[in-house]
Structure 1
Amino acid sequence: MNIKKRSVWFLTLISLVAVITVFYVSDKPSPFDGLKLFSDETLENVDLVETSATNEKSFASENNAFEEMRMEVENKRSLLREQLTTKVGTNDFTADEKADYFAQIQELTNVDSAEGMLELIIKSIGYDDAFVRIDDTKVQIDVVASELSAQQANEIIYAVKQEWPKAYDVSVKFTGQQ
């Protein structure tokens, strides 16, 4: 009996490795390089602040504004997630209601990770910073860029729709780097 279990686990492991290998070989290379995030060059560039004598605002202040907006959204979602978790843990609701609350928690997690991924994709395209908010089928994007063009907005919209197929209404707002 024990040998059969080991054989099943071994065959499962081999088939999993085969599937991952086929996926890895057949998948197109992604323009995003995750290892580059942790390189020494990237860590040194984080501390750089672009300033100009004629401009009052800097990239750092835009970045701080985006961070503040991210914190607001995260605080609201954390509060909602906490309320839903409390509802799932109590005996005051039916199993169907609890399943619905649990699905809402999972959706919040999916939206959080999708927003983070979309921000990374937009940054990998070549923009300094981006702030993405997803609300059902509507996606709002704020991007720090020195130039504004319809082609750039279309490039961002295309990348977003490739990654998040539920995005039917995508709006891009450029914040000039000053």
Structure 2
Amino acid sequence: MKANKRTVWFLTLLSLVAVISIFYLRKEAPMQLDGMAIFGDKNKEETILKETSSDGSKTTSVFADSVRFEEMRMEARNERSQMRDQLTNKISSPDITAEEKKAAYEEMDELIKRESAEALMELHIKELGYPDAFVRKDNGKVDVTVLSVDEGHSAKMADEITQYIMTSWEDAREVQVVFME
């Protein structure tokens, strides 16, 4: 009988902790699709970024460029997914030696490390003040495409990004930075 009471008390306390933690998490970061907020125009800063020229007459949407970045990311994911499938098939094949399997494991590990490093680099470039960035690394060459809302991007900005990437990746030999408007 004591075990049942302990179990009931434990489950009660556990559910109470879960409810309180969900309440505080939701209070700090409310969900984006919350109730009537879908129909209001009050919180539009996350949906579409706008660029206004100096005379105020021209307004260009940056949302379409952001979609291009997502398309580039999806292409890279599809390509790497195919590579991962090939490596998995190679590993599961009974005709391959242990050395070849080890090489395939190492290549898969390198692929995962490269993907996470690229995602981290994109986040760091966004922290520098750019709305979006796409980073792709192949054989020591790093291609960086940055979405710039300001027309005044300069060689100084490109050098800042290049320097950051060269210090972060030891095997980065060549860095190419392209600004998209």
The TM-score normalised by the length of structure 1 is: 0.71
> 2: distance between equivalents of 1:149 and 1:49?
21
Aligned to 2:46: 46
In structure 1, what is the equivalent of residue 164 of structure 2? 159
> Displacement of 1:40 after TM fit?
4.5
Computing the radius of gyration from Cα coordinates, the structure with the larger value is 2
Alignment-mate amino acid for residue 159 of structure 1: Y
The answer on whether the counterparts of 1:121 and 1:159 sit within 8 Å (CA) in structure 2 is no
2:108 counterpart residue number: 105
Residue 163 of structure 1 and its aligned partner are, at CA, apart by 1.6
For 2:156 and 2:49, the matched residues in 1 are separated by 27
Distance 2:66 2:118 in 1: 16
More helix by share: 1
State the distance in 2 between where 1:47 and 1:160 align.
Answer: 29
Q: CA deviation at 1:66?
A: 0.4
Distance of aligned partners of 1:136 and 1:61 in 2 relative to their CA distance in 1, 3 Å threshold: same
* Cα distance, 1:111 vs structure 2: 0.8
**Does residue 147 of structure 2 align to residue 144 of structure 1?**
yes
Counterpart Cα distance in 2 of 1:46 and 1:98:
45
Equivalent residue for 1:77? 80
User: Which residue of 2 is the match for residue 3 of structure 1?
Assistant: none
Which residue of structure 2 aligns with residue 29 of structure 1? none
1:68 aligns with 2:77: no
Matching of residue 171 in structure 1 with residue 176 in structure 2: yes
Q: Secondary structure at the match of 1:46?
A: coil
Following TM superposition, the consecutive aligned residue runs of length 4 or more in structure 1 with deviations greater than 2 angstroms are 43-49, 51-55
Ranked by relative contact order (alpha carbons within 8 Å, sequence separation 6 or more), the top structure is 1
In structure 1, the residue matched to 2:37 is none
Cα distance between partner residues in 2 of 1:140 and 1:66: 13
Unaligned runs of 5+ in 2: 1-27, 33-42
2:7 is aligned to none
2: CA distance, partners of 1:100 / 1:72: 25
Structure 1 vs Structure 2: percent identity of aligned residues?
Answer: 38
Map of 1:89 onto structure 2: 92
Looking at structure 2, the residues matched to 165 and 155 of structure 1 have their Cα atoms a distance apart, in angstroms, of: 17
Equivalent position to 1:127, from 105, 125, 130: 130
Cα distance in structure 1, aligned partners of 2:78 and 2:168: 25
Aligned equivalents of 1:73 and 1:54: distance in 2?
A: 34
For 2:147 and 2:172, how far apart are their aligned partners in 1? 21
Q: CA RMSD in A?
A: 1.9
Q: Determine the structure 2 residue equivalent to 1:28.
A: none
Q: Normalising by the residue count of structure 2, what TM-score does the alignment of the two structures yield? A: 0.69
